[in-house]
Amino acid sequence: MISQINNISDQISILSRAIGSIQSEMRHLFDFQDVYGTLLFRLDGRVITSIYDTESSSSILSILKWVKSIISKTKLELKHGAKSIKYDRQLREQETIPVYFYRTGNSSILVVMLNSRANTGLMEIEMSRTAKRLGLIIDEKHIMGENK
């Protein structure tokens, strides 16, 4: 019985570190000046975590609703070998922003909303790196027995 309690304690500790690592990766990406928001979705369309600019929260929330409506289509495109997908979406009257989708491991999708004037070359490198790191964190959690 005591070994089971230790095992549960170890699993809680591992899960806690994974959650902290996911939040750290999301925060790192969001801290770039041209990032309006970062969202991490499960493949079924549920939001795992999100960080977004509170000044544009109403605009970001309308984009979030749009993202949720197309996540299954995007999931299929990413599953068939696309590294990333970019859509342009209306944010405000005069501003269309790029919205990027990256597959993160076997069970989630990273969505990043950028400023229309963002340096997309630099940001694509950072978004790709973050997606890979998130995938490693999330897939490692699955290996440890989570979400079976």
Domains and CATH numbers, the chain: 2-143 (3.30.450.30)
- Give residue 52's identity as a one-letter amino acid code: Y
Across residues 52-79, what is the average pLDDT?
A: 81
Q: What are the structure tokens assigned to 99, written together?
A: 């919205």
- Report the range of poorest mean pLDDT among 42-56, 72-86, 111-125, 131-145: 131-145
**Separation in Å, CA 137 to CA 18, 32, 93, 107, 123:** 6, 21, 38, 11, 21
Examine the pLDDT at 25 and tell me if it is beyond 90.
yes
Q: How confident is the model at residue 4 (pLDDT cuts 50, 70, 90)?
A: low
Q: How confident is the model at residue 6 (pLDDT cuts 50, 70, 90)?
A: low
- The pLDDT score that the predictor gives to residue 133 is 94
- The pLDDT score that the predictor gives to residue 141 is 55
Of residues 110, 105, 66, the one with CA closest to residue 89: 66
Read off the pTM: 0.83
What is the overall mean pLDDT for the chain?
Answer: 83
Of residues 11, 29, 38, 32, the one with CA closest to residue 119: 32
- How many other CB atoms are found less than 10 A from the CB of residue 86? 12
